[in-house]
A and B are shown apart, each in its own frame.
Chain A
Amino acid sequence: MKTLAELQAIKNRMKDKVILRDGLEGTRVVVGMATCGIAAGARPVLNELVKDVAEQNLADKVSVTQTGCIGICQYEPVVEVFEAGKEKTTYVKMNPEKAKRIVEEHLKGGKVVAEYTIGAAQA
């Protein structure tokens, strides 16, 4: 049974870990969570990203956040990756399996998964 004491333990563990997330320094992963994104299946995509980023120990340098309608509803679920000094990557028609690969290959490995980008979808 989950208890509030466990939360206390989480707090004690985390408070020593000073999180220096500058926002400008790290990588931002943004998931479109407006009506269009949600209806197309953004919720499990977001949850997979959050889980995989934590499990791959990337949480210190990668933040996963939500945003509204990005304006390309026909390509939802859409995930954008912002990295300092690099061009934005837009991944389209996402699903949890694709999200897993993006964490593994792009966020961890540093290599854009070209076949899932909007450029590949339009070609």
Chain B
Amino acid sequence: MKEISLNILDIAENSMKAGASLTQILIDETDNKLVLSIVDDGCGMSPEIVRSVIDPFYTTRTTRKVGMGVPLLKLACEQTGGSLSIESTTEEMDPENHGTKVTATFYTDHIDFTPLGDVVSSITTLIQGHPDTDFLFRHTKAGSEVELDTRQIREILEDVPLSSFEVIQWIESFLREQYDESAINM
């Protein structure tokens, strides 16, 4: 993957498959560290499955028996000296509070740090493809913040789909303006 934003797009797809109603994509930058968390309220995974998703030869898809999503994210963070962790609770373990949290820590001053890239494009692509689920996106750095919550947008739009081109365009400009005004570089 050329950009971490592409890993975000890829990993968030797993939350969609897990039936998440809210997926949070959180980026927090401090000094030389970038912490990416993708948190969903989907069906969760058993400890056994959590162990195996890190293995490139594990996948849920049926077309072929390999899955590279999580291993590629793990590689991207570990090559900067960082690490990846996955915490998950299945519906069976806790019917009230289940889901998965993937956390990747990157060291941004490492020569092998992949740039974050066009994260706005990844967020709009996710919303375009999954207009019926909610996303909370937040990027924080040095007191600045960029945020988007589709629940707020949905409340205004009522039954107008979030995948409508005009809405997607609005979301894209809304995020790009926040980046332009903040001290956060993409």
- On A, residues with C-beta under 8 Å from B are 1-2, 4, 6-8, 10-11, 13-15, 33-36, 38-39, 43-44, 46-47, 50-51, 53-54, 59, 64-66, 68-71
Q: Which of A35, A50, A71 contacts B168 (CB 8 A)?
A: A50
Question: Measured between alpha carbons, how far is A35 from B66 in the docked complex, in Å?
Answer: 11
Question: Measured between alpha carbons, how far is A30 from B95 in the docked complex, in Å?
Answer: 35
Q: Which of B6, B159, B165 contacts A51 (CB 8 A)?
A: B165
Q: Assuming the A-B contacts A46-B128, A69-B63, are A11 and B157 also in contact, with contact meaning beta carbons closer than 8 angstroms in the complex?
A: yes
Q: Assuming the A-B contacts A2-B174, A11-B157, A35-B68, are A46 and B166 also in contact, with contact meaning beta carbons closer than 8 angstroms in the complex?
A: no
Q: Which of A10, A15, A43 contacts B170 (CB 8 A)?
A: A10
For B67, list chain A residues within 8 Å (CB). 35
- Where chain A touches its partner, the secondary structure class is helix
Question: Measured between alpha carbons, how far is A33 from B64 in the docked complex, in Å?
Answer: 15
- On B, residues with C-beta under 8 Å from A are 1, 6, 9-10, 13, 61, 63-64, 67-69, 72, 121-122, 124-125, 128-129, 152-153, 156-160, 164-168, 170, 173-174, 177
For B129, list chain A residues within 8 Å (CB). 33, 46, 65-66
For B122, list chain A residues within 8 Å (CB). 43
For A35, list chain B residues within 8 Å (CB). 10, 67-69, 72
Contact call B165/A10, Cβ cutoff below 8 A = no
Q: Assuming the A-B contacts A2-B177, A6-B170, A11-B156, are A34 and B9 also in contact, with contact meaning beta carbons closer than 8 angstroms in the complex?
A: no
Question: Measured between alpha carbons, how far is A46 from B72 in the docked complex, in Å?
Answer: 22
Q: Which of B13, B166, B173 contacts A33 (CB 8 A)?
A: B13
Instruction: Kindly report which residue of chain B lies nearest to residue A65, judged by CB atoms.
Output: B129
Instruction: Kindly report which residue of chain A lies nearest to residue B2, judged by CB atoms.
Output: A39
- A-B contact sample (17 more), CB < 8 A, given A1-B177, A2-B170, A46-B125: A4-B156, A6-B170, A10-B160, A10-B164, A10-B166, A15-B159, A33-B13, A35-B67, A38-B1, A39-B1, A43-B125, A44-B121, A46-B128, A47-B124, A50-B168, A54-B165, A54-B166
For A69, list chain B residues within 8 Å (CB). 61, 63-64
Minimum Cβ distance to chain A for residue B2 (Å): 8
Instruction: Kindly report which residue of chain B lies nearest to residue A67, judged by CB atoms.
Output: B129
Contact call A14/B166, Cβ cutoff below 8 A = yes
Question: Measured between alpha carbons, how far is A65 from B6 in the docked complex, in Å?
Answer: 18
7 A-B pairs with C-beta separation under 8 A:
A4-B152, A7-B157, A34-B10, A38-B1, A39-B72, A51-B165, A53-B165
Q: Assuming the A-B contacts A38-B9, A39-B1, are A10 and B177 also in contact, with contact meaning beta carbons closer than 8 angstroms in the complex?
A: no
Contact call B165/A15, Cβ cutoff below 8 A = no
Question: Measured between alpha carbons, how far is A44 from B125 in the docked complex, in Å?
Answer: 9
